[in-house]
Amino acid sequence: MKIAFLIIALLFCFSVNAQNQLTDTNYLEHKHHDHHKNEIGVANAPVYFIKEKVLTYGLHVHYIRKIDHTPFGIGAGYERIFDKHGHHTFGIVGSYMPIDKLSFIVAPGITFEDEAINSPDFALHLETSYEFEINNFHLGPVFEFAYDPEDFHISLGLHIGLGF
């Protein structure tokens, strides 16, 4: 748990430092303009349920379309938690990329379990990732915090994306 908070703190420090160094608006606009307009991303991670104190596996998939000449994007996402509950979450994804490699995602949506498919509940996912680009592929660490009425969960894993 302490390691996850340390990683988040470091990512925020990198973000603040990079923003202080990149004050030229034309440079920032150019960097975001050159970035891929679309991304399909997958996050693989162990997921820890805070109330239940259970560790399991989760898979998060999203599609994001960048909004022209801005660091913002919008899209859709799906998360599957593979445990005894059969947890599914569908949501709208909003992204913010303050610097070229760092992104923050907010994804409100609905969640349900396999045995309660007719009773969806509100869910909220917050995610941050730091990406290293190799041509059209993005690879890097991802941290997620999620809320649903049953529990909170956190995950620290690997984000793999394809930009086009």
Per-residue pLDDT reduced to its tens digit, 45-91:
999 999 999 999 999 999 999 999 999 999 999 999 988 768 899 99
Quick one: tokens of 134? 């190799």
Q: What does the longest C-alpha to C-alpha distance in the chain come to? A: 53
Who's near 144: CB < 8 A, 6+ residues apart?
Answer: 43, 45, 60, 125, 126, 127, 153, 154, 155, 156, 157
User: Using CA atoms, how far apart are residues 12 and 80, in angstroms rounded to an integer?
Assistant: 27
Domain 2-163 has CATH 2.40.160.20: yes
Per-residue pLDDT reduced to its tens digit, 17-35:
444 444 444 444 444 445 6
What's the pTM?
A: 0.76
Q: Which of 65, 56, 128, 121 is nearest to 88 (CA)?
A: 121
Q: Which of 96, 75, 83, 65 is nearest to 163 (CA)?
A: 65
Q: Which of 162, 145, 164 is nearest to 42 (CA)?
A: 162
- Rounded to 5°, the CA angle 147-153-156 comes to 125
Who's near 113: CB < 8 A, 6+ residues apart?
Answer: 85, 86, 87, 88, 150
The domain spans of the chain are: 2-163
Q: Look at 87 and 153; give whichever has higher pLDDT.
A: 153
